[in-house]
Amino acid sequence: MTGFGRAEATWQGKKVVVEMKSLNHRYLEVTVRTPQVLSVYEIEIRKKVGERFSRGKIDVTVRVEGEVNGDLPLGLNMEKARAYLKLFQRLKEELSLPGEIDLSMFKDLRGIFEMEDSNQFMVPWEVLGETLEGAMKKLAEMKALEGEALRRDIISRMETIRGLLREVEARAPMVIQEYRRRLMNRIKELLNSYPVDEARVLQEVSIVAERSDITEELVRMESHLEQFSALIEEDKTVGRKMDFLIQEMMREVNTLGAKSSDGEIAKWVIEIKSELSKLREQVQNIE
């Protein structure tokens, strides 16, 4: 599920910021971006995120910002200043230039005066870890809100599937009766005035009825739906279990459609498969 979480903390006048963004993904994929000096914590960050979330493409960004109550302080690059001084002295000697070397000659040179890079500021794990926890909490809260909307949609689609299955169950006995009637009419047309062997007709009808019996598929579908309903109420990782159950239901519906040669049932089977496909898309976002 999608979501965003942000938390910050203050350490020695600097602001430590952790931002997390989550997008839908079938598996867990964590990307961590930190200042180079904090890259030593990348494995620990991945571990903490993996303990909290099981699915989603999650981007974690860590920043260290400047002074909380003021601008970033200026820094002085003495190494560059000494290099420039040596060049000025060499020019003065080799070209016999008049005058003295003073500060005015340095003021427009690049790289001597620079802003302090807060991202090179080392932060202890205790501070960063606590900030990460805060960001994960905010992300989880946002994902929970989306999850509730997703839950209502899933329940609605399950009720739709149950309604369609009731239609199929009610229609199934009628299909056999219609087949018997069509068979009798066809035999009478072919035999004209000859007597019809009722026993032979009943035997043929019973064979077709046995081959097209969908009771077993309907019972298993109801069982899968009950298990699915139970998983919705569980307060733990259930996404992959739901995904598996949808695969099983799709298999049962395909068998059901293959067994029945009735147009009405075929129409309902298509609708059930459509709802299951939509459920599968939703379930892949559930942890």
User: pLDDT digits over 46-55, tens only?
Assistant: 999 999 888 7
- What is the pLDDT, as a whole number, of residue 75? 66
**pLDDT over 70 percentage in the chain:** 78
- What is the pLDDT, as a whole number, of residue 68? 46
Which residues, 6 or more positions from 73, have their beta carbon under 8 angstroms from its beta carbon? 67, 115, 116
Domain with CATH 3.30.230 in the chain: 3-71+118-142
- What is the pLDDT, as a whole number, of residue 37? 84
CB 140 within 8 A of CB 262: no
The CA-based dihedral angle spanning residues 242, 247, 252, 257, taken in that order and rounded to the nearest 10 degrees: 130
- CA 176, CA 190: separation in Å to the nearest integer? 21
3: pLDDT strictly greater than 60:
yes
- CA 36, CA 34: separation in Å to the nearest integer? 6
Which residues, 6 or more positions from 228, have their beta carbon under 8 angstroms from its beta carbon? 158, 242, 245, 246
- CA 172, CA 215: separation in Å to the nearest integer? 9
Check: pTM over 0.95? Answer yes or no: no
**pLDDT over 90 percentage in the chain:** 26
- What is the pLDDT, as a whole number, of residue 70? 45
- What is the pLDDT, as a whole number, of residue 116? 52
CATH class for domain 3-71+118-142?
A: alpha beta
Greatest mean pLDDT among 38-42, 89-93, 171-175, 177-181 lies in 38-42
CB 150 within 8 A of CB 286: yes
Domain with CATH 1.20.140 in the chain: 148-283
Average pLDDT over residues 90-96: 86
If one compares 285 and 116, the residue with the highest pLDDT of the two is: 285
CA distances from 174 to 14, 104, 160, 204, 261 (A): 77, 102, 22, 16, 12
Handedness of CA 17, 144, 278, 284 (dihedral sign): positive
Pick the range with the lowest mean pLDDT from 13-27, 52-66, 88-102, 196-210: 196-210
- CA 97, CA 273: separation in Å to the nearest integer? 89
- CA 100, CA 89: separation in Å to the nearest integer? 10
Average pLDDT over residues 1-19: 89
Q: Is 168 exposed, middle or buried (0-12, 13-18, 19+ CB in 10 A)?
A: buried
Average pLDDT over residues 132-158: 89
- CATH number, domain 148-283: 1.20.140
